[in-house]
């Protein structure tokens, strides 16, 4: 099997410090959490940022500050969200990408009801514009799939020639309104992938462990972190993002799966050399 690539997603759009006081919110806190996770063995960091009040934002300034701090600390592969604020206009969702040129950016391949009370809109025209911005700036799309039909949207973009690399998919399982997190569903999703595609998966909240273990055993990659899960186990909050990375590494070792460094992940995805220590 390929070496396991562990992505850390230290801060999402949902949980706040009131849910877990160890959740990183400021650029300095996020950069520190990413650095600690890199030291623990994470190869990729999927980044969201918050405003000064701790609310989700797509502020280019906050991304810029956070990315600068991370690049000065380590060579972790940078994956920036394009969906960090459900109310942000399409142009704002893409504004940070040409400026910061991350290695990877997320591309959510469809719209859905979000958490039973909002709309998460990814209009087909937005997906095309976002794909072009990524292609023209050498940014690898991480295609986030919340349900089976989104894979069809991704294949449409592939057919239009908007992705230059093989498809890399992140299966998001157990989000409210999305595909339920079960190993049966994960196997079904993997079977829908085109030849040459690579994939990672995670389960939200209590589904975190079974989907992580199944992904490791089925040859995929994994994502851990407070964006998806703020608990270490039932009723016990995780003390840090790095703690969740450390557990993933222990599990991988038990399963006999070697873990990729950031440089190895970059080579695996065919990404150029790290910008770390340059900026
Ligand atoms: Zn995210």
| Per-residue pLDDT reduced to its tens digit, 99-114 | 999 999 999 999 999 9
Domain of 265, CATH number, reads 3.20.20.70
Which of these, 184, 107, 113, 183, lies nearest to 151 by C-alpha position? 107
Say how far apart CA 253 and CA 3 lie, in whole Å. Answer: 11
Split into its structural domains, the chain has a count of 1
Q: In what helix (H) or strand (E) does residue 125 lie, and over which residues does it extend?
A: helix 124-136
Domain that holds residue 81: 6-269
The first and second tokens of residue 215, run together, are: 């992904």
- Where residue 115 falls (left for φ over 0; alpha for ψ -120 to 50; beta otherwise) is left
- How many angstroms is it from 230 CA to the middle of ligand 1? 14
Tens-binned pLDDT, residue by residue, of the chain (279 aa): 999 999 999 999 999 999 999 999 999 999 999 999 999 999 999 999 999 999 999 999 999 999 999 999 999 999 999 999 999 999 999 999 999 999 999 999 999 999 999 999 999 999 999 999 999 999 999 999 999 999 999 999 999 999 877 999 999 999 999 999 999 999 999 999 999 999 999 999 999 999 999 999 999 999 999 999 999 999 999 999 999 999 999 999 999 999 999 999 999 999 987 766 454
- How many angstroms is it from 192 CA to the middle of ligand 1? 23
- How many angstroms is it from 128 CA to the middle of ligand 1? 19
Total-model pTM: 0.97
Which of these, 48, 138, 121, 58, lies nearest to 94 by C-alpha position? 58
Say how far apart CA 174 and CA 228 lie, in whole Å. Answer: 10
- How many angstroms is it from 145 CA to the middle of ligand 1? 12
- How many angstroms is it from 253 CA to the middle of ligand 1? 26
Residues 6+ apart with CB under 8 A from 225: 7, 8, 9, 10, 11, 12, 37, 46, 241, 244, 245
Residues 6+ apart with CB under 8 A from 186: 171, 173, 201, 211, 214, 215, 218
In a domain, 1, yes or no: no
In a domain, 88, yes or no: yes
Q: pLDDT at position 187, please?
A: 98
Q: pLDDT at position 264, please?
A: 97
Say how far apart CA 190 and CA 47 lie, in whole Å. Answer: 25
- How many angstroms is it from 81 CA to the middle of ligand 1? 5
In a domain, 96, yes or no: yes
In a domain, 276, yes or no: no
- How many angstroms is it from 261 CA to the middle of ligand 1? 21
Please give the C-alpha separations between residue 177 and each of 142, 180, 181, 248, in angstroms, as whole numbers: 20, 8, 11, 27
- How many angstroms is it from 206 CA to the middle of ligand 1? 18
Say how far apart CA 116 and CA 120 lie, in whole Å. Answer: 11
Note the pLDDT tens digit of each residue in 132-191. 999 999 999 999 999 999 999 999 999 999 987 799 999 999 999 999 999 999 999 999
In a domain, 274, yes or no: no
In a domain, 30, yes or no: yes
The first and second tokens of residue 31, run together, are: 């950069």
- How many angstroms is it from 107 CA to the middle of ligand 1? 10
Say how far apart CA 144 and CA 159 lie, in whole Å. Answer: 18
- How many angstroms is it from 15 CA to the middle of ligand 1? 12
CB 271 within 8 A of CB 140: yes
- How many angstroms is it from 46 CA to the middle of ligand 1? 6
- How many angstroms is it from 242 CA to the middle of ligand 1? 17
In a domain, 219, yes or no: yes
- Residue 151 in 3-state DSSP? helix
- Where residue 271 falls (left for φ over 0; alpha for ψ -120 to 50; beta otherwise) is beta
- How many angstroms is it from 72 CA to the middle of ligand 1? 22
In a domain, 103, yes or no: yes
Which of these, 92, 91, 131, 88, lies nearest to 108 by C-alpha position? 131
- How many angstroms is it from 40 CA to the middle of ligand 1? 21
């Amino acid at each position: 099997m390929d070496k396991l690539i562990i992505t850390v997603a230290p801060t999402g759009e949902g949980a706040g410090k009131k849910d877990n006081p160890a959740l990183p919110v400021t650029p300095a806190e996020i950069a520190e959490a990413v650095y600690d996770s890199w030291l623990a063995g994470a190869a990729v960091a999927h980044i969201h940022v918050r405003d000064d009040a701790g609310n989700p934002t797509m502020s280019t300034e906050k991304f810029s500050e956070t990315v600068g701090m991370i690049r000065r600390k380590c060579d972790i592969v940078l994956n920036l969200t394009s969906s960090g604020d459900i109310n942000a206009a399409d142009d704002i969702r893409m504004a940070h990408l040409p400026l910061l040129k991350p290695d990877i950016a997320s591309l959510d391949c469809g719209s859905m009801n979000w958490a039973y009370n909002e709309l998460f809109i990814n209009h087909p025209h937005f997906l095309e514009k976002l794909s072009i911005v990524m292609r023209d700036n050498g940014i690898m799309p991480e295609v986030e799939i919340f349900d089976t039909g989104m894979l069809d949207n991704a294949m449409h973009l592939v057919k239009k020639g908007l992705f230059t690399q093989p498809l890399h998919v992140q299966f998001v399982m157990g989000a409210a309104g999305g595909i339920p997190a079960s190993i049966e569903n994960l196997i079904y999703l993997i079977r829908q992938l085109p030849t040459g595609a690579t994939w990672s998966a995670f389960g939200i909240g209590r589904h975190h462990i079974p989907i992580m273990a199944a992904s490791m055993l089925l040859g995929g990659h994994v994502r851990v972190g407070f964006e998806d899960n703020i608990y270490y186990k039932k009723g016990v909050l995780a003390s840090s993002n790095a703690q969740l990375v450390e557990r993933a590494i222990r599990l991988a070792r038990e399963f006999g799966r070697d873990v990729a460094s950031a440089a190895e992940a970059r080579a695996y995805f065919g990404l150029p050399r790290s910008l770390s220590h340059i900026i």
